[in-house]
Structure 1
């Protein structure tokens, strides 16, 4: 009996939506040859991660085992699947495999970081395979909300695993490949040990709608609009961007794309041949000279991003264009949970301008790129795996997906980030628990989520900051009184005296009472000054601020 094993280890995306990173390995325990499927990011919010630019998966375990890593395979070009490849290339160094469109996007990211573009290799879809150590990996076309999405067939000596990636069952997706039921039956026919399956829409009870179903409704809306028509969607949803542009063209409007991500996605789609017949566009400079009723803008910022085109227009002007009363703004997108506040803020700003805002509450102008519950059941029946492991979902999604699998008499197994699963034999088992978490891209550096940097930033934002300065002479006697500087705190409190004056008086009294041992010991002195500053601020204004103490001593 072989002592080799087949393992599955999610580092991101299992217990959350976004930041996908999944390891597969085969070999002797601890010495498995590894492949990584997807390496994505998720996005910060001002409440929990203020000032952070991006959130990346913690790849510490994988970096320690980089000599065992054969390759990285990217299923599609959404940021939560490809966004971290350039950030981590130096730490991993493995070749990256993707289909043409995804490879184009990945190379652009690598180029921005000065990494060799040749590290990203373009592969053809099924029936071609890429060999990576003990694995043979094939890309299986599947429909999603971005061109050339693929599931993966991962063959190992222990059997076949199918990793669906993000998917929906759309036989008419407008741009990209339709769902091919016969192809999926073919790859499933030899028998599938494990299906690692998208769980995003497991709670949606109705069968998913085709991307092609939104076109006629969007055309009606555009045709009936009088002023300028502006719309936003996910820049990566090339099919939707094309649908919007065609609706504008049929209504006799000139089309202008605004936002770097929007232009990049269309350029990559044209360069790789996945997009043909896109309507002619005009530049923002030329758009300024076109009558409002003859102009359509397709802009970035469907999720309320502060620096995107939608937010800039809501703030007043973007690239010389201003919205006015009688214009229409369409959100042809679903608001991702957590982004509601930013989107609603923009909607209200437009409303104050007199702009008519249309969202997807009617269900007419957007369809999801993920499989709904009936579609997941259809995939289960099509593949008929020995084991089903949900991925790409919050814990509640994964748990519900396991229940759904078991109701269909499948062996469902719940695995979250850091849980290494042994897929060998007839039953999955937890082999080990790996410490996982998040890494923050903070400016130009990466910091650990547990390093305390963002925690301190939040505490300062909530409680304000006091800096206390003290000078002592060579005999450890104070030279003058301490002085304070405050930030983010009210200037006066209950006593109606300036807060700084109150703090400096209380701190001066503390120094006058302090004994020689305290004055000679920086740690004890700092602790005492900090305590007094917090207590006094709490009494005056009801806040316990973060306190920085600077002690300067005169040289002997």
Structure 2
């Protein structure tokens, strides 16, 4: 009989930032009872995943073992932690546990996908514990850039694990609970086997600033603006949204929320009691009638998302409102790595309009929701775990965090997605590698990263497209000439003749001299036509486009 063990397996969120999904298990080898922590999404970009709406972690391994899965626990309401709940619940079919605010958001996710909202169960914060197989799980309050964030206290017969979730050591967060070092000390006093810990800001050398430090700077900026003010931040950062709204209100401005996510987050925070005394807001229709110098818009799209309100305003008009020369646009947010191009595009569009753009380059108008290097060191000291397992970061973040833990004599290891660790001993040990990857939401359909669909889109974007059509009669003789259609290719090539004419002429010459065996065999004929079309394009325009051959036979 195999010994019982405590395992940890990241399926998403380790080796990358986004689409978090972490499995814990306890029991005999390959028969452990499992829980899942977080089920999030990442967002696509035109370079690597054109046309894709969302990116999910590949949970195939977990779905194959769902008879061993007890429950899902969600640490907080950011999209990269809760965004896939509605999309994936049917494949898992277990209860989802979250605190009140996060549960409200998760139920919306379930409802949007036609899944049972009642499977999302609301739990209270520590010291309440939820039993899930061999585990007892408690939600330990911690500050972050969204209300009711929690670390998870995960107890098993192999000891206590603390999963930090996303956190910062903010004792004056304005909205949500402050970090309570005494509470964390008490939770850790009897020993912690492992701390699974956020690594996002491990390279930031200075202790993190409090959310309370941002308000006065924003208020001074808004008060001094002569014309309309527009501000964007993460919609989920309701503390910042409230700070912005109050700054506008004190400056005598009417406040208008724009963007579905912004309205939904404020509504959820108000409904669950997280937000109180939020300034009165006006509708976009009312905003259009208010003098510009008396108006402040709070909009979605701080990361340059093409469909969000910021991008729509940059494109010209949104909800009847247009920005003009002398207006001010504030990015009260940090640009997530990978989103720089979209943000810069919007900044340049506003610049062309004469809009004054204020970003976070000065550090005055935004503070991070993640712990910096000194904060990580402090948490290590408070929790004093036997081992530290870095998560939530790219490989460079994980490796640096592991070094940081090692400096204080704590066992650590880099475990990227698919790396299963045994946490039962004195040091973490790799015991298995599970195949992981990505799943794309493409319109309304989920597709695999290896299905070739996104790869084909990238190839077409890089090389263009040619469609070749030929018709053969009952005797396998060509009826007329080959003809082509092109997409994404120039009209003229090096020979100064229309590219279509050159391709069709080369294909037709081949058909005239092709042997009977080639003309009678679809596969041979298709391969030759494709080869000739691509070679002709290479000679004419220096590219070998994606080529589709259509062969029609009259029988």
Q: How does 1:187-336 map to 2 (within 5 A)?
A: 187-336=187-336
Report 1:31-46 matches (<5 A): 31-46=31-46
1:473 and 2:464 aligned: no
SS of the counterpart of 1:484?
A: strand
- 1:426 equivalent in structure 2: 426
Matched residue, 2:378? 378
Match of 1:364, SS state, is coil
Q: Is the 8 A contact 2:8 2:23 kept in 1?
A: yes
In structure 1, the residue matched to 2:167 is 167
**1:439 match: secondary structure:** strand
Q: Distance in 2 between matches of 1:2 and 1:541?
A: 64
Residues paired across the two proteins, number: 555
* Structure-2 residue corresponding to 1:77: 77
State the partner residue of 1:138.
138
Following superposition, the deviation at residue 492 of structure 1 comes to: 1.0
Query: Is the CA contact 2:171–2:178 (under 8 Å) kept in the aligned structure 1?
Result: yes
Provide the C-alpha distance between the structure 1 equivalents of 2:312 and 2:478, rounded to a whole number of angstroms: 53
User: CA shift at 1:427, angstroms?
Assistant: 2.3
**Is the counterpart of residue 402 in structure 1 residue 406 in structure 2?**
no
Question: Per the alignment, in what secondary structure is the counterpart of residue 527 of structure 2?
Answer: helix
Matches within 5 A, 1:319-358: 319-358=319-358
CA distance in 2, matches of 1:166, 1:426: 26
Alignment match, 1:67 = 67
- The residue number in structure 1 matching 2:439 is 439
Q: Contact 2:389/2:413 (CA < 8 Å) preserved in 1? A: yes
Determine the structure 2 residue equivalent to 1:90: 90
Q: What is the CA deviation profile of residues 230-277 of structure 1, one whole-angstrom value per residue up to 9, with x for unaligned ones?
A: 100000000000000000011011110111000000000001001101
What is the aligned partner in structure 1 of residue 531 from structure 2? 531
**Conserved 8 A contact 2:411-2:428:** no
Contact 2:302–2:331 at 8 Å: present in 1 too? Answer: yes
> Which whole-Å CA distance do the structure 2 matches of 1:382 and 1:166 have between them?
17
Q: In the TM superposition, what whole-angstrom CA distance separates every residue of 1:30-71 from its partner, at most 9, and x where no partner exists?
A: 111000000000000001100000000000000000110000
Please report how far the alpha carbon of residue 429 of structure 1 lies from its aligned counterpart in structure 2 after TM superposition. Answer: 1.1
C-alpha distance in 2, partners of 1:402/1:475?
71
Query: Cα offset for 1:351?
Result: 1.2
Quote the Cα distance in structure 2 between the aligned partners of 1:175 and 1:425: 39
Q: Secondary structure at the match of 1:35?
A: strand
Contact 2:168 2:370 in 1 (8 A): yes
* 1:360 matched residue in structure 2: 360
TM-score computed with the length of structure 1 as normaliser: 0.99
* CA distance in 1 between partners of 2:546 and 2:323 (Å): 43
Question: How many angstroms does 1:19 deviate by?
Answer: 0.7
Q: 1:240 to 1:554 in 2, by over 3 A?
A: same
1:118-137 correspondence to structure 2 within 5 Å: 118-137=118-137
SS class of match (1:447): strand
- Report what 1:105 is aligned to: 105
Partners of 1:97 and 1:380 lie apart in 2 by 27
Which residue in 1 is equivalent to 2:30?
A: 30
The CA distance in 2 between the partners of 1:516 and 1:222, in whole Å, is 79
Q: Distance in 2 between matches of 1:198 and 1:547?
A: 46
> Which runs of at least 4 in structure 1 moved beyond 6 Å after TM superposition?
none
Q: Per-residue displacement from partner, 1:499-553 (whole Å, max 9, x unpaired)? A: 1111111001111221111111111100000000000011111110000000011
**Secondary structure in 1 matching 2:192:** coil
2-structure distance, mates of 1:429, 1:238: 40
1:511 aligned onto 2:511: yes
State the secondary structure of the residue aligned to 2:381. helix
Structure 2: gaps of 5 or more residues? none
Q: Does 1:48 align with 2:52?
A: no
Aligned equivalents of 1:273, 1:306: Cα separation in 2: 32
Distance 2:476 2:183 in 1: 82
Alpha-carbon distance in 2 for matches of 1:142, 1:244: 23
Q: Is 2:380 the partner of 1:392?
A: no
Contact preservation (8 Å) 2:153, 2:160? yes
Cα deviation, residue 2, structure 1: 7.1
Distance of 2:355 and 2:423 partners within structure 1 = 55
The TM-score, its normalising length taken from structure 2, stands at 0.99
Displacement of 1:317 in angstroms is 0.8
Query: For the residues of structure 2 that align with 1:183 and 1:203, how far apart are their CA atoms?
Result: 27
Q: Distance in 1 between matches of 2:368 and 2:351?
A: 26
Matches of 2:118 and 2:42, distance apart in 1: 26
- C-alpha distance after superposition, 1:369-394 (max 9, x if no partner): 00000000000000010111000000
**C-alpha separation in 1, matches of 2:244 and 2:118:** 35
Classify the secondary structure of the residue corresponding to 1:374: helix
Match of 2:498 in 1: 498
Shift of 1:330: 0.5
Question: Using the alignment, how far apart are the partners of 1:106 and 1:401 within structure 2?
Answer: 31
8 A Cα contact 2:96 2:121, kept in partner? yes
Residue 57 of structure 2 corresponds to 57
